[in-house]
Amino acid sequence: MPSPLSPPLPAGGISQVPDAHGRFGRFGGRYVPETLSAALDQLQAAYDEARADPAFQAELDQLLAAFVGRPLPLLFAKRLTAYAGGAQIWFKREDLSHTGAHKINNTLGQGLLAMRMGKKRIIAETGAGQHGVATATACARFGLDCVVYMGAEDVRRQEPNVRSMRMMGAEVRPVESGSRTLRDAINEAMRDWMGSVETTHYIIGSVVGPHPFPRITRDFQSVIGQETLVFCQQELGRDPDCVVACVGGGSNAAGMFYPLVEHKGIRLVGVEAGGRSSKPGDHAASLSYGNAGILHGSLSYVLQDPDGQTADVHSVSAGLDYPGVGPEHAWWHDTKRVEYTSVTDAEALDAFDLVARREGILPALETSHAIAWAVKEAARRPKEEVIVVCLSGRGDKDAAEIARLRSIENGGAHA
């Protein structure tokens, strides 16, 4: 398998980012309090050093194989394809990762970096809880202290993950401020880091945040796209026609797309959370409906009011319930290399049911957004075409919340 830190990219323009200042075109950068500047410089230096160190590479590859279970296969979704009645739908099985989502690729990589920097305490934010679990897991494996900030609303709706984190020795701190979701958890993690930065590493869970986080997380996740290319050659003898991923902060999508952006023949599609409607406050689709703005340390697309105050957002899926998106996605959006679209709560829930019954897989609600789009699109495309869906995670964590939402729905139907 190609290694995540030395992507075999063809030379070209669109992938040659970020620059030394963390810029993806005009996006990205580093808008943080001065207190964090030195730590971000240190992280950048440690990362550059690690990339050049074959031992780092080898240790990570070993973990990805024996601990995570990589490489992870492509599965032909036969009965889903038959249902859609058009192009072939294939699943890239990130849900088979140890801990059940792609997030572990990043937390192992950053955990190793933290140890290189001599930092023994790790903090993280989490929305769906998958990044929190992946961080707790890496910390248990490496013997690092772990504190996870999680919005109180997400603690409620992703309860199974809270339990797992605590079992692995992590402290989960519910965040009661603001909307009590992912965005507030990031605020709290950043505030912790302001006071602990000399001894603590912040493992941010997506391709968001100040430089160099978007780049580091993308690189650690790029193994998804690299494996996809290799498996497509093995199974199909060619590249896929279309690759689709859900976009919250954008890490599974960035890891999938980055190795593919120079393959000009592959159509790339990112699916955001369309929530209840396209009205402000009803969705979390920053690229579809937002403006250029700064949130959590970088310039990207954000959902803000005209004064620059972050807007309230909504998604049925905790992992997509975020008013911003990684700056590289903003760059791909503006360069038109990737198409971004959105899918509603209801469509995502239907896709969850469909895949559960037709494929015997419970996908995460986040992932269900990508699946919903793929099913709609497959119906419109010829049978020879291949659509690969990044199956970013498993949905066990969502089962109870989906059952709750369904019972409210059914109750409503009787009324």
Partner 1 sequence: MTSHHDSKGPSSGPLAKTFAALAKDGRKALAPFVTAGDPDLDTTLAVLEALDRAGAAVCELGVPYSDPIADGPVIQASYTRALAAGFTLEKFFEMVRKATGRVKMPILAMVSYSIIYRRGIDRFVDDAAAAGLAGLVVPDLPLEESDVLDVTCKGANLALVRLVTPTTPPERAAEIAKRSTGFLYCVSVAGVTGARTDLPEGLVERVKWLQTKTDVPVLVGFGVSTPEQVKLLSSVADGAIVGSALVRRVGELAAEGPEGVAKGVESYIADLVNAAR
Q: Pick from 43, 162, 246, 387: which binds ligand PLP (CB under 6 A)?
A: 246
Quote the CA–CA distance of 376 and 143 in Å, as a whole number. 45
Pattern 345-374, ligand PLP, x by CB under 6 A: -------------------x-xx-------
Distance CA 188, CA 177 (A): 9
- Binding of ligand PLP by 271 (CB under 6 A): no
Stretch that binds ligand PLP, among 114-122, 123-131, 226-234, 285-293 (CB under 6 A): 123-131
> Contact with ligand PLP (CB under 6 A): which of 70, 92, 131, 283?
131
Q: Does 248 bind ligand PLP (CB under 6 A)?
A: yes
Residue 249 interacts with which of ligand PLP, partner 1, none, CB < 5 to 8 Å by class = ligand PLP
Least distance between partner 1 and beta carbon 230 (Å): 38
H/E element holding 102?
none
CB of 415 to partner 1, least distance (A): 33
- Of 254, 211, 222, 205, nearest to 107 by C-alpha is 205
Tell whether residue 250 is a contact of ligand PLP (CB under 6 A). yes
CA atoms of 300 and 33, how far apart (whole Å): 18
Q: CB of 22: closest distance to ligand PLP in angstroms?
A: 18
Which residues lie near partner 1 (CB under 8 A)?
21, 29-39, 177-178, 183, 187, 190-191, 194-195, 197-198, 291, 293-297, 299, 304, 306-310
- How many residues are recorded in the chain? 415
In the list partner 1, ligand PLP, none, the entry touching 248 (Cβ below 5 to 8 angstroms by class) is: ligand PLP
Report the distance separating Cα 188 and Cα 157, nearest Å.
19
Q: Work out how close the CB of 206 gets to ligand PLP at its nearest, in angstroms, rounded to a whole number.
A: 3
Q: 34-51 and 182-196 are packed helices; what angle lies between their axes, rounded to 10 degrees?
A: 90
Element of type H or E holding 305: none
Active site residue 164: no
Q: Quick one: which of 28, 127, 210, 327 contacts ligand PLP (CB under 6 A)?
A: 127
Q: Looking at residues 62 to 121 of the shown chain, list those that interact with ligand PLP (rule: CB under 6 A).
A: 101
The tokens describing 111, both together, are 């955990």
Which of ligand PLP, partner 1, none sits in contact with 392, Cβ below 5 to 8 A by type?
Answer: ligand PLP
Position among 259, 319, 323, 324 found at the interface with ligand PLP (CB under 6 A): 319
Annotated active-site residue 125? The verdict is yes
Q: Nearer Cβ to partner 1, position 19 or 53?
A: 19
Residue type, 264: K
Tokens 């789009």 correspond to 373
Per CB under 6 A, the segment of 72-80, 135-143, 247-255, 373-381 that binds ligand PLP is 247-255
H or E element in which residue 49 lies: helix 34-51
Binding partner at 368 among ligand PLP, partner 1, none, C-beta below 5 to 8 Å by kind:
none
Minimum CB separation of residue 326 from ligand PLP in Å reads 7
CB 320 within 8 A of CB 369: yes
- Write down the least CB distance from residue 113 to partner 1, Å: 19
Counting Cβ atoms within 10 Å, is residue 235 exposed (0-12), middle (13-18) or buried (19+)? middle
SS3 of 100, please? coil
Report the alpha-carbon distance of residue 296 to residue 324 in Å, rounded: 9
Footprint (CB under 6 A) of ligand PLP, residues 7-66: none
* 103 has catalytic annotation: yes
CA angle at 105 for the pair 337 and 350, rounded to the nearest 5°? 65
Residue pair 116/144 in contact by the 8 Å Cβ criterion? no
179-208: contacts with ligand PLP (CB under 6 A): 206
Given 125, 153, 328, 377, which residue is catalytic? Answer: 125
Half-sphere exposure of 313 (CA within 13 A, CB side): 32
Q: How many residues contact ligand PLP, by CB under 6 A?
A: 21
Are residues 322 and 246 in contact, defined by beta-carbon separation less than 8 angstroms? no
Residue 32 interacts with, from ligand PLP, partner 1, none (CB under 5-8 Å by kind): partner 1
- What is the secondary structure of 364-411 as a DSSP string? -HHHHHHHHHHHHHHHHS-TT-EEEEE--BB-GGGHHHHHHHHHHHHH
Nearer to partner 1, 21 or 336 (CB): 21
C-beta separation of 134 from 104 below 8 A = yes
User: Which residue among 103, 251, 272, 401 is the active-site one?
Assistant: 103
Cβ-contact 310, 304 below 8 angstroms: yes
Active site residues: 103, 125, 392
Q: What residues line the site for ligand PLP (CB under 6 A)?
A: 101, 127-128, 130-131, 206, 246-253, 319-320, 364, 366-367, 392-393
